[in-house]
Each structure stands twice: as structure tokens, then as C-alpha cells.
Amino acid sequence: MVHLMETRQTFAQLGIPLPLFEAPAGESPDYLGLEQCSLCGSHGVHCFSVDDLIASCPQCRFKNAVNTRCQSSVCKSCSHEVPSPASRRDPAVACYRCLQAGRAAFAKDTVLGMVTWDQAVEGLTHGIPGLKSADFEVVPAEDDPEWMRAVVPSHLLLELVRTPSYVTWQGEQWQFCCGKPMVYVGEWQEAEFNRHAPDGDGRALLKNASINGVDESSWGDLQNIGGPYMFRCKECASLRGHYDMD
């Protein structure tokens, strides 16, 4: 069970820093608090609800993703059955250490298309029909030339799939900037914009942020929309975000 104090703290303050998630831990529906890990069996450790567990094929040792709702998968290399590595619980949960060790992963919905562990290893997003990007090379999917996939360095996507999701009404849209996934900094309304503005002028900060459908004219009415869900670029420090449509 997640305690109230934990929900107000960031993951870094809880001692489990996540480079791409700087919002309070309570903004992640995947964070479960102190539980028992299904992979290493540790008790009373920070755990997450994850989408995939990573297991080596018993036949050829090729690494595969096994969905937490399944007991096994089929090896992508030799087609041998790969059993789930979970020792307990259905669906399985993973602790912070196992997650950071690459033993589990989240599926991420991004502005470049879905990213699962398999796609992160491949260095390609699942893509979007007609996708165009100034920051990334895009290539057509093998089975559909209109479906364009973004080429992103594998290590960047692997960091992304080690990052939990954030709470939204209509689903996450992880943002990218300067060729990298951005850092999720939280759901911001007027108070948060004022607090993060260097001069306390949150309205000016909102004006300079890039949020489709939201600009400074929305100031004073942000509580009536879902979000905005804000991201900060590690390289240029710019802010981008999205919100839930009515």
C-alpha cells in the first residue's frame, strides 16, 4: 500500500531515483509502494506494476519479453517456450532494483508511437501513420509503407521503458526534445507554473511552453482541463506538454 507521505515525495526523495520521472511518486499509477518483488523475492521494497518481464530462453539464451499477464512466451530467436521468470503473483510486480537491472519493463505511449521493451532493443518506435520528425530519422514499417517508425538510440528507449507512467484521463503522450525522451515533471496548474518560474511569473512560463491547444489565454482555467502534463528537456530546458481533450 502506498502511504500518503510517499505519494507527495519524488522517487529521488524516496531513494529510488528515476532519471525521466521527477514528479511526485503519487502521479504514477504504476508505483505500488513497499511490496514483495515477484522476481527477486525481496520483501518490503519499492515495487511497480510492470508490463513485461525479461527472461532468457532456456534453449538458446536469447532474451525475450514475457507479458506479466502470461505464464510464458515464444522465443523470438528459436521459437522455444520461454516461461515467465516470476516466482509469485499474477500479475507480477518488479522492485526498483530489478527494474533498473533490466529484468522488467513498461510499455510507453509516446508522440513517436508506442515503445515496448522489444522496440527499445530494436531502436525503433512502433510508429504512427504519416509520422514526421525534425529530430529523428523515420523509416517505413516493413508491412505498411505509410506507417512510419522513428529511429531512436536503443539506450535512450531502454531508459524510457524503465520509467513508470503518469496518471492521465486519456493516456500518456511521452514527449521528446533534442533527440531524447524528456523528463516528466508533473501535472501543472497555475500554482505549479508560478512555483517553477524563476521570477514567479507562471503565466509567462506557460506562454513560453509548447502545449498544443493551451496558451496563456488558458491562465486561470487550467483546473478545468486534464493536465497540462508537463515535460522538461534535459538539453535545452524547454517545456512541452499535453492535456486531456474534452
Q: What are the residue boundaries of the structural domains of the chain, listed by start?
A: 28-106, 180-244
pLDDT digits (tens, 9 = 90+) for 160-213: 999 999 999 889 999 999 999 999 999 999 999 999 999 999 999 999 999 988
Cα(109)–Cα(104) distance, integer angstroms:
17
* 218-242: pLDDT as tens digits: 898 888 888 899 999 999 999 999 9
